[in-house]
Amino acid sequence: MDIKEQIKKIRDFSYKKMITDRTGHNFDHIERVVKMATRLSKEEKTDELITLGAAYLHDVADDKLVNDPNKLESEIKQFLKSIELEDNQIDEIIYITHNLSFSKSLSQNPPKLSLAGQVVQDADRLDAIGAIGITRAIYYGGANAETIYDPAIKPREQMNKSEYRNLDNETIINHFYEKLLKLTSMMNTPTAKEIALHRQQFMYEFLNEFKSEWLSEI
C-alpha cells in the first residue's frame, strides 16, 4: 500500500471518529490542523506519513474528549497495523498524539517531541488561537457549561494537569489567560511563530473589546 492510500485511509478513520464531536474538536478542526501541518511539514522536511498520520489522529484518543483513551489508542494501533504501517511508525504516531497537548506541558518533565511531532503540535496550537481559536474556546466552554466571565474569578497560575482540567471555577475568558495567550511563545517552528503573533494580537483586541462592552453593561 502506498503512502497516499495509507493517508487516505487514516483520514477516513479519523472522520468516522471525530465527525460527531460537539466541543470544537470535530473533523473541521482536524482538517485545518492537517492543512497547516502539511505546510509546516514541507518547510521543515518532516516525514509525510508520520506528520499527517499524527495530525489526523491527534484528537481521537484525547483524554478530555473520550472516556477510555487507552482503548482508543489500542484501536488506533490495530488500525495502523492493518494498513501496513511499520511498528516504529505506529509507535511514533502514537507518541506524538499522546504527548502534544498543552496539558502535557504542565508536568515537571514535559515530553520531548520529534520534529514531526513539533510540526503537528504547532498546527494544533495555531488552530487554538486567532479568530477560529476564539470561536472554539467559546464553543468548548458552552459544551461544558462554563461561565462566560466573572471579574471576581481570577485566572489560575502554576497549574498541574489535574487542576487545569478541573472546570469548576473556570471561565471562558480566563481560558485565554490560562492557555491561549501562552501558546505563541510555545511554538516550535519559525513559520508557526510568525503566524501566531498575528493571531495573538487579534485575541488581545477581542479581549479588550469584550471587557469594554462587559463593563459598559454594568
Summarised one tens digit per residue, pLDDT across range 101-130 is 999 999 888 999 999 999 999 999 999 999
pLDDT for res 218: 54
Architecture of domain 3-216: Orthogonal Bundle (1.10)
Listed as ranges, residues in the chain with pLDDT below 50 are: none
User: Cell numbers at residue 51, please?
Assistant: 506528520
57, 14 in Cβ contact below 8 A?
yes
Residue (of 105, 134, 102, 121) closest to 201 by Cα position: 134
User: Cell numbers at residue 131, please?
Assistant: 479568530
Please state, in angstroms and rounded to a whole number, the distance separating the CA atoms of residues 218 and 206. 19
pLDDT for res 161: 87
pLDDT for res 167: 87
* Long-range contacts formed by 153-161: CB under 8 A, 24+ apart: 159/106, 160/106, 160/107, 161/103, 161/104, 161/106, 161/107
Q: Answer whether 0.85 is exceeded by the pTM.
A: yes
pLDDT for res 189: 98
